[in-house]
Structure 1
Amino acid sequence: MHMNSASHLLIEDRPEFERLLDDALRTAHDRPELADVGRRLNTEQLRTMVLNADVLVTAAATTEYEHFVKVREELRAPAAASARASVLAPAAEEPVDTTGAGLAAVVAVLAPVLAATAAAIFLLVGYILKALSPPPAFADTMLTAGWFFGALTAAAILVAAIGLLLAALRNGSTEVHAVQAEGGGELSDEVARARDAWRHALLERGIVPFLCDALADPSTDPAAPVPYRSAGRIPHLGYSRPDYASPDDGDDLQRPSFTSPDFTSPDFGGPDHQPD
């Protein structure tokens, strides 16, 4: 929906304003002062009016909103700084072992692949030799080696799966701590109280009084024949038609009049009668 005004709310707080407006319209019949919702103006019309006047409505809770934003930013700043510091400068007691981690990852990936390949080769060759008549003496050795590498493949896959699980748990725990460090301020009691105070002020001093004024003003009826004009703090709703009048309306309309020019014939009597 197109807004014809720029709200002073931050982008992240705009959905909260619209959610609070929707809740107020949905529970309007629980308030005696909003009992007329749906008679002359329905909820969609009222919602459009409030959104079109969002600067005026949200200005009623400017003090509470500025305090909410200030507290939220103050609690976000240290968490963001500590998160950046932990990323740029790892702690001395947690040295980074790049070689060990890289070697372990290579072994975890290659060991199952190499073992499975060896198992497939030995088993294939062993069974082919077993099919010969008479079978060679080392056919059983090939089969034994194939089954050994098959067991080694299963063990390597199990070890790799356990390593991946431990790594996922370790990274998940680190991620949870990072999220708590970055967003813990928003969940604090101080920010929650500031947010509740802003929501209460916005609802009671902004949205509800605006809706009451819109419902109490008879000129806000979009079905009224008289074109609606903006009055007080209620924004313009609807369109007005230009006034047209036909040429026959009114007695004061003057029609243009024309008179033919006067022509007189020249005195001309031939060559024998010259004018005096």
Structure 2
Amino acid sequence: MHMKSAPHLLTEDRAEYERILDEALRTAHDRPDLAGIGQRLNTEQLRTMALNATALIAAAAAAEYDHFVTVRADARRPVGVIDSVLGPPDEVGGPGAGAGVVVTVLAPVLAGTAAVIFLLVGYVLKALDPPPAFADSLLAAGWFFGAVTAASILAAAIGLLIAARRNSATQVPAQEPGGDLPDEVARAREAWRHALLERGILPFLREALADPEADPHPAAPPRHFGRLPKVGYSGPEFSSPSEGEARPRPAFTSPDFTSPDFGGPEHRPDPEPQPD
């Protein structure tokens, strides 16, 4: 299983993190505080949880790790050519260092530029008929600066050779993982390993074993609801008349119209008189 990417640890130190974690799990039976391994969470589950929490665990030893990385980078940094010729970086700002930079770097450039200008102008004037009297002086000056340029380049080459030999004897080569380290780097590395184990990995394993809700698997994605959840109040109820409660309807009847023949006895017409 490969460890997930951690923003704090460098790539070359992630394998060391895994080795420290595996060693802690391998010797867990010797630690009474880790005696619960295998009851609810086994070794592989704890390892998975610790790898997923690499950034959190590594942050517990951030100060020691930053010091270790700084010391290791200083030990691996080769001594530069200018440092070898002019001295350490804290001496570059001195007056002697400034003169050395001018002589070593700028002198060949300036002398070469002057030589080209004087020779070019001198030969152009020499081609005139009659040539000016100072044409020979310009050519002489051009050849003089040409000689200065050659001498400056030779001096710079000698300085580079001396610096290269000095570097090969004094610089600290980059160390392979597991190889011998300089004493200061080895002490910083051991301090980081100790802090990572005691303040990061072991507390994480103890808390994972003591937490009954610890989940060795990645957290499930949040649920998505298809509709809005019901809030604690509801709007007023509106219903159509047909859905509402039955209400008594007013009793209206049409007027009682009847023909005279079908009226009551009191409304019957008088009988017509019979003829004699």
TM-score (norm 1): 0.45
TM-score (norm 2): 0.45
